[in-house]
Amino acid sequence: MVKRLHIKVPSRAGKGDVIRLMTKLNHPMESGWRQSHDGQLRPRDLVGEFTCLFNGKEVFRAELDSGTASDPYLSFHVRVEESGVFLFQWGGAGDERYEAEARVEVR
């Protein structure tokens, strides 16, 4: 099975450090406007919401739309003051959801 959600989080950081988090979702992101080889419109298939939580508190949110390329990639920075767990959540049409967690140890 293909791993659909990729994340990159440093395993350690100093108190007050600003760390870079990265996530990529393998997803076709079809807008519903493109045609297949036989001329039929491809069905709309978008993942439009991304949220990152740290110890249950939202630290980053993004809303994506039909102009987003396939396999969306996001990179953002967060200041950490304590050890904890980042939860990455992607959501799409219907019940389509992808989640992954990563722990960071603050020294």
Burial of 30: CB neighbours in 10 Å, binned 0-12, 13-18, 19+: middle
Higher pLDDT residue, 98 or 92?
Answer: 98
Q: How is the chain split into domains, by residue range? A: 5-106
The mean pLDDT value for 68-94 works out to 93
Is 14 in a helix, a strand, or coil?
coil
CATH 2.60.40.1930 fits 5-106, yes or no: no
For residue 66, name the pLDDT band (cuts at 50, 70, 90): confident
How confident is the model over 96-107, as pLDDT tens digits? 899 999 999 999
How confident is the model over 16-26, as pLDDT tens digits? 999 999 999 99
This prediction has a pTM of 0.87
**Average pLDDT, whole number, for the chain?**
91
